[in-house]
Amino acid sequence: MTAEDYGKIIVKRKWLALLVGFLFTVFWIGGLSGLSMNPDNRIFFSKDNPQLLALETLEKTYSRDDNVYLVLAPKDKNVFSPSTLAAVREMTERLWQTPYSSRVDSITNFQWTRSDQDDVIISDLVEEGEISEDVANNAMEVALGEPLIRNLLVDSEGLVTGLNVNIIMPEDPIASGGATIEIMSFIRAEQARFAEKWPDINLYVSGGVPLTLAFTEVSMSDISTLLPITLLVIFIIAGIALRAVSAAFLTALIAILAVIGMMGAAGYMGVIINAVTSNAPLMLLILSIAHCVHIINTQRLQMRAGVEKKEAIVESMRVNLKPVFITSATTAVGFLSMHFSDSPPFRELGYMLAAGNLIAFVNAALVLPALLAILPAKVQPKKTFFSQRIMDNLSNFVIEKQKYLLSISSVIIVGLLIGISQIKLDDTWTTYFSEQFEIRSHSDFLEDNLTGLNAIEYSVPAGEENGINNPEYLANLDKFANWYRAQEGVNHVSVVSDTIKRLNKAMNGDQESFYKIPETQELAAQYLLLYELSVPFGLDLNSSINVTKSATRMTVSVMHASSAHLRELDEKAQVWLANNIPEFKTVGSGLSVIFAHLSERNINSMLFGSFMALVIISFILIFALRSLPIGILSLIPNIFPAAMAFGLWGYLVGEVGIAIAVVGAMTLGIVVDDTVHFLSKYLRGRKELNKSPEDATRYAFSTVGFALVVTSCALIGGFLVLASSGFRVNSDLAQLSMITIAFAIIADFLFLPPLLMKLENLKNKSK
């Protein structure tokens, strides 16, 4: 069956086609019930991610500690006033009621260890009862001199203080999502209560649990605000371009049907919606417009030339069905290449968009022509519109200046490609959220004034059971911690050796000279046992020492750390350990470390994915265009746009992160669309209409040029909307995609035609 025969059947059986299209959509609606959301930020990591496996091993050894971190900033800039200490103490007690909490740490319940003649006393730094000036002054002296809490629970000047709530989340992702909401509902209620009772103290909330909830909130924000705006953009662009409200309505309808189908397919596939996949509907709305514009535009061009409506629809299907199918296939291949991404959300985004794109093709090839046949259509016949004159002038310019355009384009391409060398892999996952979200401003305040949100975790082995009490092990652990404290950006190191030194000092009359590692293993063991027996429930060292006492946990807090800096710190630590303490065989772990390596792993995996997409798309183009040289030649204006966009990004921004890795593969399938439509019209002019290369170029510009401008503007406009997302991963992806599409349409208009004519001239000379 030819495309023309298919078009005739659809026009003749338009109501049946509409019914089939309706049943097609109903089938996908059935999958919507299978959709669910997962706010956990660990969804970004594949199960075999080595850094994630290291973190899971560490958490099984000690505990998985998510947290909520509250910062109290008194307006008088004095944490150690009696009133502020009273507020901290009260808040500490109330936070023990936080759902799923296992521990609360603050300056008031810090376990103060000191000597009292022949006894050692361990108690809260600020105990129950009235807080006098003497108590407040003592708390300040102890807290600011204690490395265990200085720059972790209080800054070095006593201006702000923190309360850390350790949370043990359910392992089931769905249950974890519910727990996150429950925890943050409690925290926000406490936040409101605190603001009312203590108006002179500002309260900021950050930490792992609030950041996790922010992933869900940004998803809902994008869906509720950006999706309607995108639909409006599509409607306006289609209406202006096709000069008909009905055409704009049909374009929007096909896009909506495609989104419904895609979300149903996602439900059937068991995809869990997250901050990345939540924008799939928005992206598909953008992509779906292309099919409709080409089909409707050709129909209207035919009617403008005097062809009757039904014949115009049949001719549009004859001309467009094949290129629309090819572009759907190549776009789907580009998205499916995201399967090679190291980050599951991007893999699932690829699956969803590939399925959605094919569903959009079915609707455009089945429902759209049926509706065009049913609905009335009015056009002004035999009128040359401004857009047509623009395309005619552009084609003449390209033909006349083909040599200059080819040379200038080549120079610009090379110049932009050099910019790729300016790119460095860097990312800061705690800044994924824009400042419109409270979590961003609160997290920034925490890092600017108290401690770092990024942490590198180590499980440091002692080599034998109870080996952590060995003075040599403790001394080496202390050396490792001190080395880290001297590194740039590190503001706190939490290590067991500090507790041991503090206990040794207390057991020796609080003499400063005894703030050191005990001389024997027996003494260290006794001190630890004494401490464990003396501290209240929940404030022991179980999260820092493993069960067999053969390893301890060391946590390094880093302020304003980028991914590159975290990778560099851990690499330097490995070198230092190998040279100084080779028996400490340990690697850095933690969420920050995993995110730090993710962009690098993602780019490496997507290089292969992009290569596979390129190979498959090449075969599709060669087969579809039935020309080996044209098929290969068509790859040039498709490969370069993404590379040029990366180059421009390198000059202007310089840093790429997790999202940028998938842009090359994703946009490859999109930008091929313009090339396929242009080449199909060019080859039709050459083979069917026996036109010269120059006239075939004019024919391609006149028949499809304006449609390509419209679809590119729609894509750029849609991605411009997505670029305003409050989630930086999405906005970066949108910005680079937008630049790539802009370069692609420029290449298809100013670089591809001169290249085609150059190839034709070389062929003619060789004959």
Residues facing 103 on adjacent strands: 166
Residue whose C-alpha is closest to residue 166's, from 98, 212, 85: 98
Residue whose C-alpha is closest to residue 276's, from 207, 338, 328, 327: 338
Contact between residue 492 and residue 515 where contact means Cβ atoms under 8 Å apart: no
Gyration radius (Cα) of the chain, Å = 32
- pTM of this structure: 0.82
Q: What are phi and psi of 182, to 5 degrees?
A: -65, -45
Contact between residue 736 and residue 334 where contact means Cβ atoms under 8 Å apart: no
Residues 6+ apart with CB under 8 A from 406: 751, 754, 755, 758
The string of pLDDT tens digits covering residues 684-725 is: 888 888 888 889 889 989 888 888 888 888 888 888 988 888
**Amino acid found at 243:** R
Q: Structure tokens of 517?
A: 């590692």
pLDDT attached to residue 767? 56
pLDDT attached to residue 356? 93
Q: What are phi and psi of 331, to 5 degrees?
A: -65, -40
Q: What are phi and psi of 79, to 5 degrees?
A: -65, -30
pLDDT attached to residue 610? 79
Contact between residue 165 and residue 70 where contact means Cβ atoms under 8 Å apart: yes
pLDDT attached to residue 380? 66
pLDDT attached to residue 627? 76
The string of pLDDT tens digits covering residues 609-652 is: 878 888 888 888 888 777 777 777 777 777 888 888 889 988 88
pLDDT attached to residue 277? 86
pLDDT attached to residue 383? 55
Domain boundaries, the chain: 3-41+213-422+595-766, 65-199, 435-589
pLDDT attached to residue 143? 92
Q: Which pairing describes strands 655-656 and 424-425: parallel, antiparallel, or unpaired?
A: parallel
- DSSP assignments along 607-658, one per residue: HHHHHHHHHHHHHHHHHHHT-HHHHHHTTHHHHHHHHHHHHHHHHHT-EE-T
Residues facing 119 on adjacent strands: 116
Chain mean pLDDT for the chain: 87
Residues facing 429 on adjacent strands: none
Query: Residue 122: how many CB atoms within 10 A of its CB?
Result: 17
Length of the chain measured in residues: 767
∠ CA 223-227-233 to the nearest 5 degrees?
A: 165
pLDDT attached to residue 764? 66
pLDDT attached to residue 686? 84
**C-alpha–C-alpha distance, residues 149 and 110, integer Å:** 8
Q: What are phi and psi of 682, to 5 degrees?
A: -65, -50
Q: Which residues of the chain have pLDDT under 50?
A: none
CATH number of 3-41+213-422+595-766: 1.20.1640.10
Q: Structure tokens of 738?
A: 């937008």
pLDDT attached to residue 678? 86
∠ CA 169-174-179 to the nearest 5 degrees?
A: 40
